[in-house]
Structure 1
């Protein structure tokens, strides 16, 4: 299995492909120096291959490189971050404004 992660826009998200087919994504909204991750999805046929972890790891790494703060609203991203505490320094808890920004 060959995978790659790319940043896409419209909508803003990091997509993961498996053998050239889009397998899933981590969707985000950039706002005021923060990157709000609010939805991660992997296609059913790609489940159980660890692709969600790969796309989130790449997305968090890119966020760090861009100097942004991670705001985890997506349950998967929240869970991933609890296992990867090396990113605590760029992670903040979501506020009511963050939820409002994504229409939640």
Structure 2
């Protein structure tokens, strides 16, 4: 992560979540600078439906406690379901977020051993 100026915060800069498929992650940017990401792997051969496995989420230390992980997760999962993929939450943060948001429940699949193998 690159160091951010102290004045850059979600309150005074635009926050956006962008899919970065070449790097298999969603980036969250504040004022155009990447401050975190959520890694994923797309799989089409484990179940009958296309899935996206979320396995690692990071927010830079200087941006912690500002709700950015929640924003990142909400937008990444919304983009995933809009793309017709089901969600597999291996990442502990994503798993916890999903458990607190009933509206996403119908789009989530249980983690299987094959999902764990897919991200090793």
Establish whether TM, by shorter chain, passes 0.5: yes
What is the DSSP-based 3-state SS (H/G/I as helix, E as strand, rest coil) of the residue aligned with 2:42?
strand
Hey, which bits of structure 1, 4+ residues long, moved more than 4 A?
none
CA distance in 1, matches of 2:68, 2:26: 12
Residue 75 (structure 2) pairs with residue 63 (structure 1): no
After TM superposition, the score normalised by the length of structure 1 is 0.95
Task: Considering fraction of residues, name the structure with more strand.
Answer: 1
Residue 35 (structure 2) pairs with residue 18 (structure 1): no
After TM superposition, the score normalised by the length of structure 2 is 0.83
- Find the counterpart in structure 1 of residue 114 from structure 2: 97
RMSD: 0.8
Where do 5+ consecutive residues of structure 1 fail to align?
Answer: none
CA distance in 1, matches of 2:31, 2:85: 30
The alpha carbon displacement at 1:19 in A equals 1.5
Within a 5 Å distance, the mapping from 1:80-91 to structure 2 comes to 80-91=97-108
Where do 5+ consecutive residues of structure 2 fail to align?
Answer: 1-9, 45-49
